[in-house]
Structure formats: C-alpha cells, structure tokens
Structure 1
Amino acid sequence: MQQEPLQQVTTKDMLGFVFNKVLNQRWILVLNVLALTLITALQFVMPQFEKLIIDQVIPTHNFQWLALVIGGLLLTAVVLGILNYVSTYYMGVMSQSAITDLRNDLYHDLLTQDTQFFETSKTGDLMVRLTSDINNLQSMISANMLSMVGNMFTFVGVLVFIFIVNWQMALAVSVTFPLMFIIYRVFRDRIHKAYRAARLSQTKMSNQMQNTLTQIDLIKSYTNEDLAQDHFNETSEQNKQDMIRATQNGALFSPLIDGVNYLEVAIILALGAYFVMQKQMTVGTLVAYLTYVGMLQSPIRSFTQLLNQIQQSLVSYGRINEISQVRPTIEEPAHPVAFPTGNLGIQLDHVNFAYQVEANESTLKDVTFDVLGGKTTALVGHSGSGKTTITKLIDRLYDIESGEIAINGIDITDFRLEDLRRHISIVSQDMFILDGTLRDNIVYGRQEATDEQIQRVIEMADLTQFVASLPDGIETQVGERGVKLSGGQKQRLSIARALLKDAPIVILDEATASLDNEAEKQIQHALDNLTQTRTTLVIAHRLSTIYNADQIVVIDNGRVVEKGTHQALLDQNGAYAKLYNAQFK
C-alpha cells in the first residue's frame, strides 16, 4: 500500500473541501445567499421599529402611527419567518446532497484500495469513518453554518453602524473583542485535542464491538463473556473520560465568552444612561443601540457555540482525508492489452514475493511452474508454505516483487484488472455468503443472468432438491453470513456462483477443507461440473481429492520442490510421498 505523507489538516483545508462539494449545487447556494442577505437586512431594520415607537409614537400619542409601526413590525417578522424557512429547507437539501456525494466518494475510495489496506485496517475504524465522521462533517454544510457566515456580515455591518451612531460607546464595546480572541486562541487547540482523543477511543470501542459480534461463538465456547465485558467496560470508561475532558473544555469556554458578552452590556448601559441623562441620546436610540449590541453578540455567540462542532468536524475531516491520500499499489496498465481467448494457461516464471518487504523474508522464492490450459494443476504442501499466496498473486490481489506471472504468455499486469478478474473464479474454504436471498448470492458475479441460466447452475451445483424444499425457493433469505445454511449448502452455493460467472480459469482454495468426508463426496460432483473443460488450480490439504490431477506441484517453504503426476511423485519417494504417507499410513 502506497501512502502519501500525511499532512496536518487545517480549518481552511476542511472548509475548502466542503465548499467544493457545495459548488455542485450552485443555484441552491445562490438562493440561500440571497435569502440570507434579505434576512440580514430585515434583522437590521427591526430595532428601528423600537426606536420609532419610543421616540416618536409614544410622545405624540399617535395611535394611527402606532398601528402602522406595529403592522410593519409584524409584517417584517412574517417575511423573516418565510425567509428563514426557505433558507433552512434548501440548506438542508444542499447539505444532504453534498454529504451523500462525500459518503459515496469515500466508499469508492475504500473499494479501490488493495487487499493489504484492509488487512492492516480495523473494520470498526472504517465503519466510524463512513458513518460518524461523515455525519460530523455534515455540520459544515448545515443551515447553522450558513447562518454563522451571514452573522459575520451582520457583525461587520452593525459594528460600522454603531460607530456612526455613537463612536464612544462603540469603541468601549470593541475593547472586549481582543479578550474574546484570546479566549478563543487558548481553547481552540485544547478542544481540538480533546475531541480527537474522544474520537480515537470511540473507534477503539467500535472495533471491540465489531470483534464481539463476529467472534461471539468463540467467546461463548470459551465462556469468556466476563472477560469480553471487562475489556469493553475498560474501553467504554476510557471513552467516557475522554468525552468528559472534551465537555469540560467546552463547558469552561462558553461561560467565559458569555462573561465577555455581559461585560459589553454593562458598558452600553453605563455609557448609554450617561448620554441619555446628558440629553445627547434619546431613550429610543439607547434601546435600539442595546438591540444592535445584542445583534453583535448573536454572531459571536453562535460562532463560539459552533466551535466545538467545528473542532469535531476537523478531526473527522482529517480521518477522512487519510483514506483519500492512500494510493493503491495495484495499478491499472497505461496501455492495457486485450485478454486472450480460447484455452488459457498460466505461467509462473521465477516469482519472488514477500508480504512485508522490510522483514527481509520472502514468502515465495523463485517459484516456476505452468498451469496447463484446460487441465487441472494441484498445489500441495504444509500450511504456510505459500499455496494460497500464489492464488492471490494470480488474481493480482498483490503484485510480485520479481519474476513474471503470465496468461498465454502475456504478463498479467498488462491486462485491465476487471478483465483479469472477470476470467477467474475462486471458490475457497472461506465461504463468503451475502445477507440476502439465494438468488442474490448466485447472481453476484453475473447480475444480468436469466432464470434459465440460474436454474442450470443450480442443477449443476446439486442444489435443486434443496431449493425445491424451501417455501420461498430461490428467493429464500439466507441470513447474515449464511447462518441459515449448512456448510455443504454454503459451499454448493459458492460453486453455483462460480458456475454462473463462467470464467475459463477456476481456483479452488481448499474448497472442501471445512467439510466432513461425507459432505465432501456430495460436493465433489458439483466441483467436477465446475472444473470440466476449464483451466483449474486446486489447493488441497486432503490429497485424496487430487489423485486425478493432471499435474501436482509441491510447495515447501515458498519453493517448488517437486512436480509431476500423483503416481510419478509417489515413485520419487520425496516430499509428496512423505505428505501422502503421513495422511494414509
């Protein structure tokens, strides 16, 4: 797995990333900005109604003028309500659309990663990034966030206005701004670090829950429920402490900001009262001035209230950004060649490979052999000798370090990955069953298959009687990981899937290893149907299943030590004979 050096993400990076998603819906953005502009303007007008009533209507006892002013106030309030509805609704539409695109992009990034990426990543952590982290980032495209931007414009406009009305009072209020800035600077990093720690402990807790759900049978069989509970309690307690620390920082931050706001009000009341008593300001102007100062506090308060969410979103953006920086090592060829047709043979020529290059220990060493077209080649050897690794290299789940793997003489790295993998069917001892119907599982590799084609592979996989016995037939739900199926039924279902794919190359990776002898005999007919006329590579632990293989390749410690037919290898009395004698004598 290639990974670009991770850079420290900034709020600017995050906002730029989010804004690019929003630009996909420019007309909604324009509509929201227009509504926000009108809202800001109307909010600016509202205090003027108060000033009119106090300074002009009340002294003149003009009830007609009072009715007009009150009517204007109510009409303005109604228009504000409508504009707020429009802004909130369409901001929600834009937010959901943008976040859906983001989630789809992240899912696509995950799908394009190499096998090694998933082997070195925790499932629970990836789930948190796809769900909680995405949801946290959604706050950056919410109606509250857009309102905050609008409030910043309101802040500037109102500040200029109150300087015009009374520069002394405005200057006194402005003295509190540096104090607010200092509080923000001090708490910004503390809140960010606190929420990052909380996110990491939440990920650890999610991983543990994932492991519990997938290993519940192991936990129960060893009666380790108490141990699992203790481990989860410990992780949960750590998450609680992290969240408390994050909450503590936020809880201390908000009162400090509120204290500064109250200080501003006290300054206005003190100076305003003085100017009113000196006949330099009317009562109506003072009331309106207090309202405008309140309008200054509103954007500051909303900004500080959103600070916690911004910091959480920044942490989530950093975690999402990490995935986007990972570059798969399995790359498509710049100039792919057409996949050959007809009888397909596989050639391995001096192949060397190691899962971890830095370990300086190769898994495969100078491996050379041919898988003959239309024939069956069996790989045998002790566990860990490199047999399964060879199948993964043929399917380009990994790339070799040196040597060559070719199909009909063409290096597999010259084929498009889709072309290569479309021509290979793999049936392994790890039976991957989808949580869906029997049909869903059978057509997984060929969605466009007809009912006649599906029925044919059901018969070839010896599933006809089983499917007929089910109330819903092929539409029967199999349950998560196929819990409603026996081992033999799962294996036949995997074979039916491979038959429908109809790939010319078949790889059987210990396909019957998890079955007993009786079940293996029942499966063998389906396997014979699958491998007939196809180029087949079989990994077998039970040597009784490969007597009739056209060629047997013996792997020991990552090297090819013997090749030949079953009888020829027995006559050599070498590594294969030792394996055979260990099983049957």
Structure 2
Amino acid sequence: MRYPLYRQLESKDCGPTCLRMVSRFYGRRLSPDYARSLCGTGRSGSTLLALSEAAEATGFRTAGVRLTWEELVSKVDLPCILMWRDRHFVVCYRISGEKVIVGDPAAGILKYSKDVFLRNWKGDSDKGIALLMSPGEEFRKDSDDGDRPRITFRSLLHYLTPYTRQVFQIVCAILLGSLLNFIFPFLTQSVVDIGIPDSDLTFIILVLIAQFVLMLGRTANDLVKNWLMLHVTVRISLALIKDFLSKMMRLPIAFFDSRLTGDLIQRINDFDRIQRFLTGSLISMSMALVALIVYGGVLLSYNSTILYIFLAGSILYILWILLFLRRRKKLDYMRFQELAGSQSNVIQLIHGMQEIKLNNCEERKRNEWEDIQVRLFKINLRGMSLTQAQTLGGTFIDQGKNILMSFTAAYSVVQGDMTLGMMMALQYVIGQMNAPIYELVGFIQQTQDTAISLERLNDINSLTDEQEQRSGTLAEIPRSACIGVNNVTFRYGGPRSPAVLKGISLNIEAGKTTAIVGVSGSGKSTLLKLILGFYTPSAGQITLDGKDLSEYSVKAWRQACGTVMQEGFIFSDSIAGNVSVSDDIPDPRRIQYALRTAMLDEFVNSLPQKEKTEIGEDGLSLSVGQKQRVLIARAIYKNTPYLILDEATNSLDANNERLIQSSLDGFYKDRTVIVVAHRLSTVRNADKIVVMDQGRIVEEGRHEDLIHRKGHYYHLVINQLELGQ
C-alpha cells in the first residue's frame, strides 16, 4: 500500500489508528484493539506521550518535536504523525512542492495546499507538533498482533440457518412471482397481434381475464412473501442485537470506561444495516438475478441487438455508480463520528439539565449542540451533492439506453422484423429489466455500507472477554478468607502514565471490618475496583486465602461480594426488582429484611404500591439519599460473606447515617467488610482503619491508636470534628 489508510472506529481513536497506519507503511499490521491498548486510549483519547510509548513498544524509534514548515520539509523522514487542529492526529505521508498528502483516520487520504495544511497543523503558532518515527532493530514486519476472529459476510449467513424453511419458501415465492411476470408480456403481445387485428372481442376479454387472475395470484404471492420476510427479519434482528449485547456484557468494565456512550449506541444502529442487508438486499438481489435471467431470455428471443444495448448501457450505468462509492464511504465515516458526538451531546443535555439551568449556560450548551448539527449538515450537504451528481449521470445513461432500445425496436417494426405486439411486449420486458439493475446498484451500495458496519462491529467483536483475560476457573469462593494486597501498583494508562496506586501492601482480615479513608484522589475507589476484578494490577498481586485472585472465576467472586459503588445505578424497575436484581426469582422475605436494614421500610410502606412502586428513569424520582439506601438494600439482599461499600452513606444526613450505620453493624457480624468513607464518624468503630494519601498507605490501626499518633488520620479528624479545639 502506497499510503495505508485505516478508519478510526471510535470518536477518540485517531491516535492508535495513526499508529496502525505508520506501522502498515513499514510492513506491520496492528489490530485496533492491540493499538488501542498500547496507547492507553480512553474517553479523552490519547496523548502524544502515550503515542510515543506505544510506537516504541512496537519497535519504532520516536521523537516528539516542534517544527517549522521548512524543518518538516527538509529534515523529517516521512511518514510522521502530526497534531492536527490541536485535538486530532493525522499522518503526513508526502510533501511535494506546495502540496501535502495527509492520511486522516476520520476523513481518508487528502491532498492539501501548503496554506490549508499549515492552518490546520500549526494554527497561529510558528511551529507545529510532530511525532517522528523510524523502525528500530526490534521492529518486526508482517505481525498480526492481537488479531481475533472477525465477523465476515460468510459468518453472517449462519443467522439465516435456523430459518432455512422460511428462506426456501421465500425463494419459491420469488420464483413463482417471476413466472407470473414472465407470462404478462406474451398476453400483451397476443392481444395486439391476434385479438385486435382479428377484431376478436371474446379472445381479448379472455386474455384480460387471464391477466386479472395472474394479477390476483401475484398479489397473493407477494402478500405471503412479505409476511415470511417480516417473520425472518424480526427474528434475525433480535438475534443480531442479542449477540452484540451478550458480547458487550462479557467485556471488562475498562471497556465501558474508555468508550463514549454515543459510539456504543451507534454500534447498535449498525445492526439495522446488517439486518436490512441479510433480509432485504440479499433477497431482493436474488429476485433481481432471477428476473434478469428470465427477461434476458425473452429479450434474446425477440431481438438480440436490443439485449446487447441493454447490457452495454447497464454496465456503463453500474460503473458510473461505482465511481462514487469510495467518496460515499469517506462521508459515511465522517457522519458516524459526528452522529456519535451528537448522541453523547444530547445525553449530556438531558442528564445535565439541572446543572445547565443552575449555571445559566443554556445558550452555550445549545450552541455546542448546534455546532455539531452544522458539521452534520455540511456532511449531509456534501452527501446530497454527491448523490445528485451520481443520480444525474446515472439517469442520463439509463434514459439514453432506453431511448436507443426504443428506437431499435421501432426500427425493427418498420423493417418488418418485429410485430407491434412484440414491440409493446418488449417495452414491458425492458421496464421489468431496469428494476433488477437498480436493485443490483442498491445491493452494491448496501454491501459497502454493511462492510463499513462490520468493520466497526469487529472492533468490539475482536476484544477479549473478561473471563478470558482473567483465566481463573475456581468457582468455590471461601466464605471466610483474608484478602491480601501485595505490593500493588496500578496505572490507568501506559507504562509512563502516573501511578494511581504505588506499591500498596495491605492485609484485610477475614470476618473483620476494614475502613479505608483519605482525601479525594488518594486511590481508595481504585483499590476497591482492583479487589473486585474490574482492573488488573500493573504490578504486584491481590490474593484471596493466599491464592492469586486471578485464579478464581471473576463471576463467582463478584457473586460472593455485596457491593455499593459511588456510581451505583438504579434501574427502571420496581423497588423490589432493584433490590433483588441479583436473583432471577426474588425472595419477598429477603427483600423486606434488606429494606428494613437499610431503613427504607417506612418510606416504602408509605407508597401506594409499596415495594412494587416503579423507580428509576421511568418511575418515581428518588432523592440521592434514598437511591443510596436502595443500593445498600441491594447489597444486603445478596447476603454475601464479603461486603464492599464505597461512600455508601455520603449523601445521607448525619441522623439517618447514624441510624443506618447502627443497623448495618449487626449485619457486618462474621462478614469481611471493606468500607471507603470520607465522613470519619462512620468508620471509628472499624477493626482496622487504613489511611491513604497520593496512592500510598501512610497509616494503619484502630481509631484510638491513630488519634494518639497525631498523623494523617488525626489531621483528617480535626478537619471534620474539630477535635483540635
């Protein structure tokens, strides 16, 4: 490939995609998932430093520099990665005079003039930012790092397998419909060539009755075929989306932390294309091929010259349409990126309306939405211009072909080679043959659209399932075991990104309550996420009963943990359904116990439908404190030997917090409990208090001991309880 191009599959994927493009230029293939993992790409994208580290990990020598135009032209070995408009990455492939060839993962291979290039690269500055790359000794060619099975057109066909009988019936309906259509031109010819010249009204009426019967048969056939297609379409659509959601649910939490919601919603919209391709385009194409063969035979029997004109014109028409496919593909990618951003923006507007009104920023937020719509409008405008040019040229070719065929047919009638009835029959046949050509063009476009959607879906399908990442198979979780944190270091990004946890060692005793406290950003919640298996430590290990936690099944481990996280979610379901979400068959007595322990019973009993009351997005609006109590009740309902609470009561008033804490103390008995809290009054009775600061453990002990030491914990207490007075 002279100028390799990969499309970014996510809104923030430009960095790893540029790395893939440069690697491909030098002969090495990188999968999207592998490149993204090297770059540590998250919701905010990748930094230049992360790109540099990722490139070095694949065997490149790199240097991040600021350059003038003259230095870029004379001193840099291309390709290199450029910072584009201060928020995007592109690959600079070639500079020839005043022209620059750029590989943009969002827009394709583009040629810029010097002025436009400089405006995008360095803006108002004297220098632009570039990442210089050259293969080192460790660079390997023809490597397919991290590639996994892909969804292909062939693999999609297995979705049709369960409906073989219905597909066979649809094919039979198509053949029957084609046979009925095949008879029509001969009936028309017989009326004109026999009935009218012989003035045989009886014959004409009989032929017209036959046409009416055929029309009824064709209508009934189409009705049955459409019902069959509807049945197959709905089933396949459900199967496609079900498999996609199943795959997403098998992915680790890190995947969702690094993806935009709008991107994921757009992925589901991609399935509409695939479903239309499987149940619409494929079947329509089958009908078109049958019609072409049948009517082509009729045309050949009437006049071979007209058939050749039709074939030549149709081939020219198809070639004209194909000329526009690459540009349509580029616009489709650009539209996807903007639609994903639009989805995320609308979700933000809806969920953030309270803050928008409180801060009087309605106009600014609306303008942000309008900016996205303007970009979408420009893309759609370009798409419409492209479609108009395509349609105009296609119509000219198509109508020119039809006029030439009509002239040839009329000439043949004048010369006596054809009858007038044959000419009228030919006009019907030509009309019926044009439709399959349009279907063929539509099929080509639909195939291209489906290929784009498959490429985006393969980005998710190629990811490793959480259970595969954590290959542990032990399903028996010990009910009373110590949790060991042994010299654990953790980074969210690449190896040079800042460590959130730094060499932490901690013993969480079985059957005891361990409280973790510290200022915001000290790593408390991150430690809990590591213990729950959401992430894997960058260094060190976490053990359960002396065995590495990765040896245990992650599903079994989480089933053994009752958990309340800061970002806990309330589903659109009844109160009982939210509390018993971990059970397929809820236990009413356990629900009542959980509500009572979480001090929710009085509130629930005051509602007309009690625990059957709908809450969440589609139901009763709860206060933040009430939501927290529902989440606490959910953890209590699971009745697990391990309980992990992350700021579980931080939204409650002091009185309610004290009452719930008193109620929970009895529930804690004989359970291993880990509590993260800012309000220190809730943890003073813990068996052990662990104090964290800047990713390290700085103190451990009981409340009284730590107070006497007058260290970090003491100062935290002073700030909250004013003990210094």
Compute the TM-score of the two structures, normalised by the length of structure 1. 0.93
In the other structure, the counterpart of 1:433 is 570
In the other structure, the counterpart of 1:402 is 539
In the other structure, the counterpart of 1:79 is 217
CA distance in 1, matches of 2:180, 2:246: 44
Shift of residue 56, structure 1, vs aligned partner: 1.9
* In the alignment, structure 1 residue 149 sits paired with structure 2 residue 286: yes
Contact residue 515 and residue 688 of structure 2 kept, 8 A: yes
* In the alignment, structure 1 residue 112 sits paired with structure 2 residue 250: yes
Shift of residue 67, structure 1, vs aligned partner: 2.9
- Per chain length, whose mean CA-contact separation is higher, i.e. which structure has more relative contact order (CA < 8 Å, sep 6+)? 1
Q: Which shifted more, 405-414 or 370-379?
A: 405-414
Q: Which shifted more, 563-572 or 31-40?
A: 563-572
Summarize deviations over 1:158-211 as a string: whole Å, max 9, x none: 224423432223223333233213212211222222233223222211110001
Q: 1:13 to 1:515 in 2, by over 3 A?
A: closer
In the other structure, the counterpart of 2:438 is 301
Contact residue 607 and residue 613 of structure 2 kept, 8 A: yes
Gapped runs of 5+ residues in structure 2? Answer: 1-30, 37-104, 109-149
Residues 49-60 of structure 1 aligned to structure 2 (within 5 Å): 49-60=187-198
In the other structure, the counterpart of 1:121 is 259
Summarize deviations over 1:27-54 as a string: whole Å, max 9, x none: 1111111111111222122111111111
CA distance in 1, matches of 2:281, 2:717: 72
* In the alignment, structure 1 residue 490 sits paired with structure 2 residue 627: yes
Secondary structure of the residue aligned to 2:323 is: helix
Q: 1:5 to 1:549 in 2, by over 3 A?
A: closer
Shift of residue 144, structure 1, vs aligned partner: 5.9
Q: 1:431 to 1:14 in 2, by over 3 A?
A: closer
Shift of residue 283, structure 1, vs aligned partner: 1.3
CA distance in 2, matches of 1:373, 1:144: 61
Contact residue 191 and residue 311 of structure 1 kept, 8 A: no
CA distance in 1, matches of 2:177, 2:153: 23
* In the alignment, structure 1 residue 452 sits paired with structure 2 residue 452: no
Shift of residue 553, structure 1, vs aligned partner: 1.7
Q: Which amino acid aligns with 1:53?
A: V
In the other structure, the counterpart of 1:62 is 200
* In the alignment, structure 1 residue 567 sits paired with structure 2 residue 709: no
1:386 maps to which of 523, 526, 531: 523
CA distance in 2, matches of 1:515, 1:84: 64
Q: Which shifted more, 147-156 or 325-334?
A: 325-334
Q: Counting helix residues as a fraction of each chain, which structure ranks higher?
A: 1
Secondary structure of the residue aligned to 2:515 is: strand
CA distance in 2, matches of 1:431, 1:482: 17
In the other structure, the counterpart of 1:518 is 655
CA distance in 1, matches of 2:32, 2:325: 33
CA distance in 2, matches of 1:247, 1:359: 46
Contact residue 266 and residue 336 of structure 2 kept, 8 A: no
RMSD: 2.6
Secondary structure of the residue aligned to 2:272 is: helix
In the other structure, the counterpart of 2:510 is 373
Secondary structure of the residue aligned to 1:513 is: coil
Q: Which shifted more, 276-285 or 521-530?
A: 521-530
Compute the TM-score of the two structures, normalised by the length of structure 2. 0.75
Q: 1:157 to 1:405 in 2, by over 3 A?
A: same
Contact residue 254 and residue 305 of structure 1 kept, 8 A: no
CA distance in 2, matches of 1:125, 1:113: 16
* In the alignment, structure 1 residue 261 sits paired with structure 2 residue 398: yes
Contact residue 560 and residue 641 of structure 2 kept, 8 A: yes
1:528 maps to which of 652, 661, 665: 665
Secondary structure of the residue aligned to 2:660 is: helix
Q: 1:459 to 1:202 in 2, by over 3 A?
A: same
In the other structure, the counterpart of 1:352 is 489
Q: Which shifted more, 442-451 or 273-282?
A: 442-451
* In the alignment, structure 1 residue 191 sits paired with structure 2 residue 328: yes
Contact residue 169 and residue 272 of structure 1 kept, 8 A: yes
Contact residue 173 and residue 267 of structure 1 kept, 8 A: no
Identity %: 27
Q: Which shifted more, 544-553 or 324-333?
A: 324-333
In the other structure, the counterpart of 1:47 is 185
Residues 7-18 of structure 1 aligned to structure 2 (within 5 Å): 15-18=153-156
Contact residue 461 and residue 526 of structure 1 kept, 8 A: yes
Secondary structure of the residue aligned to 1:349 is: strand
CA distance in 1, matches of 2:495, 2:180: 66
Gapped runs of 5+ residues in structure 1? Answer: none
Q: Which shifted more, 203-212 or 54-63?
A: 54-63
Residues 329-348 of structure 1 aligned to structure 2 (within 5 Å): 331=468, 334=471, 336-348=473-485
Summarize deviations over 1:351-378 as a string: whole Å, max 9, x none: 2221112434322222111111110111
CA distance in 1, matches of 2:606, 2:432: 72
Shift of residue 542, structure 1, vs aligned partner: 2.0
In the other structure, the counterpart of 1:26 is 164
Contact residue 2 and residue 329 of structure 1 kept, 8 A: no
Secondary structure of the residue aligned to 2:571 is: coil
In the other structure, the counterpart of 2:16 is none
Contact residue 477 and residue 557 of structure 2 kept, 8 A: no
CA distance in 1, matches of 2:472, 2:264: 33
Shift of residue 223, structure 1, vs aligned partner: 0.7
Residues 178-257 of structure 1 aligned to structure 2 (within 5 Å): 178-257=315-394
Shift of residue 219, structure 1, vs aligned partner: 0.7
Q: 1:66 to 1:15 in 2, by over 3 A?
A: farther
Contact residue 495 and residue 530 of structure 1 kept, 8 A: no
CA distance in 2, matches of 1:121, 1:479: 24
Secondary structure of the residue aligned to 2:251 is: coil
Shift of residue 244, structure 1, vs aligned partner: 2.4
Shift of residue 529, structure 1, vs aligned partner: 3.5
Contact residue 386 and residue 558 of structure 1 kept, 8 A: yes
Secondary structure of the residue aligned to 1:512 is: coil
* In the alignment, structure 1 residue 3 sits paired with structure 2 residue 141: no
Contact residue 478 and residue 545 of structure 2 kept, 8 A: no
2:499 maps to which of 362, 366, 373: 362
Secondary structure of the residue aligned to 2:700 is: strand
CA distance in 2, matches of 1:400, 1:461: 33
Shift of residue 511, structure 1, vs aligned partner: 1.6
Q: Which amino acid aligns with 1:211?
A: Q
Q: Counting strand residues as a fraction of each chain, which structure ranks higher?
A: 2
Shift of residue 530, structure 1, vs aligned partner: 3.4
Q: 1:492 to 1:526 in 2, by over 3 A?
A: farther
Q: Which amino acid aligns with 2:435?
A: S
* In the alignment, structure 1 residue 134 sits paired with structure 2 residue 271: yes
Q: How many residues matched? A: 581
Q: 1:482 to 1:535 in 2, by over 3 A?
A: farther
